[in-house]
Amino acid sequence: MVISNRVARADPRTTEDAGASGGLAVAVREALSETAGLWFGWSGQLSETPALHGPEMQPGGYRIATVDLTPADHRGYYNGYANEALWPVLHSAPHLMHHDADRYTAYRSVNRQFVDRLLPLLHPDDMIWIHDYHLLPAAEELRRRGLRNPIGFFLHTPFPAADAFAALPEHRALVEGLVHADLIGFQTASDLRAFQDYIRWEAGGSVSMDGRMEAFGRHFRASVFPISIDPAAFALTAERNADSDYCLKLARGTGRGALLLGVDRLDYTKGLPHRMLAYERLLELQPDLRRRMAFVQIASQSRSKLPEYVAIRRELEEISGRINGRFSEPDWTPLRYINRGIPRETLAGVLRMARMAVVTPLHDGMNLVAKEYVAAQNPEDPGVLMLSRFAGAAQELDAALIVNPLDHDETARRMHQGLTMSLEERRERWEAMMAVLSANDVSRWWRSFVRALADAANPTAQPPTG
């Protein structure tokens, strides 16, 4: 049984909505299909009298049950506390936090409502897997109602340094709620370390070498489970869609030069302005490359009514306009900024045709676009992955061109290095990354989490060994 903020009703392969087609949706769908589970969360709809929809069977062989949110709860819980307070803090940007006590009240209240709706749907032998920062208090709410089933929690975002997390006025109450789970999963070892620091220094708890922890009178475990994709399936989709209309048009539009590609939800954590500024630097430094390449940024709309998102959109329009104004030729456009999502299958084909993927977030839990790009490549002539050191994926994909996205000169130099890299080096780097992906695919991600949860919830079991 999975509980997450948003339930993806559509088939993630065909939708253009990055939220519904993104990594969480694909990964959760796979886990649920194999276990015939139930997925519970928000329907994506607003209503003044929220009803429960379902449970209803989905084509993948699992069930979904959803609830609507009232417009006030959507403002307070989702836009307000989750996306304007928790999201920036979790991405080490506490100065962007908009805090308001009423929003926290709405956040707690929606967590309670979710749990009240979920409870009658649970069976005594269900394992419960809670996803992401929207639902930090859900485990505590479930325990308060007497539930003794195994509860796991997975955080898709980074966990920041302990004192950055402490910028949230409710940080203690949030962690106290979270540790009612038996197992807490993080994307990377550095997220886990930051959480351990919090438990030791802010919560006054203890952390043992074997992953067991104690805080707020609770015993629980925390470990690392890097989320992933199904590389074989994605490779097949990419190969099949390499000649789509969209790809052909894109190739024509780049004058058949090398395509540098960015694909992201439009979010201030993704480092989009910095990457455009680095590209501008490349255009200044390497005039010889000018007509031989083009940069395409696909940025699907996300949380588009929030002020920070309006601001970043304006900033990108300004930077992309300036770059095109400075460098365009009558028959060549250096940068195309596409502010709309595309279907997942089309996206796979586009990733395959790009000579370089520019994945340069300022902070990112994992970043699945990086993994999708590697899987999409033609093994005979693979492209180059440029990856920010601040993406969780960099801890696994260290054969990428790793950059500090805040250093525009370095990023520009690395772009040049990637565009002029020999086939031999491209293949070597790609094979190393593909080997990591094949060993750590999405199936391993959810299976190892479920196994560790079963152990964590069984007090006589030994701790997981790695």
Cα-to-chain-centroid distance, residue 314: 23
Contact between residue 415 and residue 385 where contact means Cβ atoms under 8 Å apart = no
Q: Name the one range near ligand GDG by CB under 6 A: 58-66, 306-314, 340-348, 450-458.
A: 340-348
Q: Name the one range near ligand GDG by CB under 6 A: 176-184, 323-331, 364-372, 455-463.
A: 364-372
Q: Which is nearer to ligand GDG, 355 or 371 (CB)?
A: 371
Q: Determine how β-strand 356-359 pairs with β-strand 183-186.
A: unpaired
Q: Per rule CB under 6 A, is residue 369 in the interface with ligand GDG? A: yes
- Using CB under 6 A as the criterion, what x/- string covers residues 240-279 for binding ligand GDG? -----------------------x-x--------------
Beta bridge partners of 4: 131
Three-state secondary structure along 401-463? EEECCCCHHHHHHHHHHHHCCCHHHHHHHHHHHHHHHHHCCHHHHHHHHHHHHHHHHCCCCCC
Closest C-alpha to 311, from 121, 20, 96, 56: 96
Q: How far is the CB of 82 from ligand GDG (least distance, A)?
A: 13
Q: Per rule CB under 6 A, is residue 4 in the interface with ligand GDG? A: no
Q: Per rule CB under 6 A, is residue 38 in the interface with ligand GDG? A: no
Among 342, 375, 401, 453, the residue binding ligand GDG under the rule CB under 6 A is 342
Q: Per rule CB under 6 A, is residue 157 in the interface with ligand GDG? A: yes
Q: Look up residue 241 and give its two tokens.
A: 């869609």
Could you give the CA distance from residue 123 to residue 125 in angstroms, rounded to a whole number?
A: 6
Q: How far is the CB of 90 from ligand GDG (least distance, A)?
A: 9
Q: Per rule CB under 6 A, is residue 21 in the interface with ligand GDG? A: yes
Q: Per rule CB under 6 A, is residue 341 in the interface with ligand GDG? A: yes
Beta bridge partners of 207: 213
Q: Look up residue 233 and give its two tokens.
A: 């399936």
Catalytic site residue from 132, 182, 267, 364: 364
Q: Per rule CB under 6 A, is residue 24 in the interface with ligand GDG? A: yes
Contact between residue 220 and residue 181 where contact means Cβ atoms under 8 Å apart = yes
Burial 92-122 (b: 16+ CB within 10 A, else e): bbbebeebeeebbebbbebbbbbbebbeeeb
Among 4, 22, 194, 196, the residue binding ligand GDG under the rule CB under 6 A is 22
Rg of the chain in Å (alpha carbons): 22
Element (H, E) at 52: strand 52-57
Catalytic site residue from 91, 131, 134, 156: 156
Q: Look up residue 418 and give its two tokens.
A: 């990637």
Among 261, 366, 399, 452, the residue binding ligand GDG under the rule CB under 6 A is 366
Could you give the CA distance from residue 314 to residue 312 in angstroms, rounded to a whole number?
A: 5
The residues in 165-184 that bind ligand GDG, with binding defined as CB under 6 A, are none
368-376 vs 423-439: helix axis angle to the nearest 10?
Answer: 120
Contact between residue 344 and residue 15 where contact means Cβ atoms under 8 Å apart = yes
Q: Which is nearer to ligand GDG, 364 or 396 (CB)?
A: 364
Q: How far is the CB of 368 from ligand GDG (least distance, A)?
A: 3
Alpha helices per DSSP H over 330-419? 344-353, 368-376, 408-419
Q: Which is nearer to ligand GDG, 377 or 413 (CB)?
A: 377
Q: Look up residue 354 and give its two tokens.
A: 């790009």
Whether residue 53 lies in the annotated active site: no
Q: How far is the CB of 395 from ligand GDG (least distance, A)?
A: 12
The residues in 280-299 that bind ligand GDG, with binding defined as CB under 6 A, are 298
Q: Per rule CB under 6 A, is residue 365 in the interface with ligand GDG? A: yes
- Using CB under 6 A as the criterion, what x/- string covers residues 208-227 for binding ligand GDG? -------------------x
Q: Count CA atoms closer than 13 A to 210's CA, side-chain side.
A: 11
Could you give the CA distance from residue 12 to residue 402 in angstroms, rounded to a whole number?
A: 30
Whether residue 364 lies in the annotated active site: yes
Could you give the CA distance from residue 86 to residue 92 in angstroms, rounded to a whole number?
A: 10
Q: Per rule CB under 6 A, is residue 31 in the interface with ligand GDG? A: no
Q: How far is the CB of 362 from ligand GDG (least distance, A)?
A: 12
Q: Per rule CB under 6 A, is residue 44 in the interface with ligand GDG? A: no
Active-site annotation, residues: 156, 364
Which residues would be at the binding site for ligand GDG (CB under 6 A)?
16, 18, 21-24, 156-157, 227, 263, 265, 298, 300, 341-344, 347, 364-369, 372
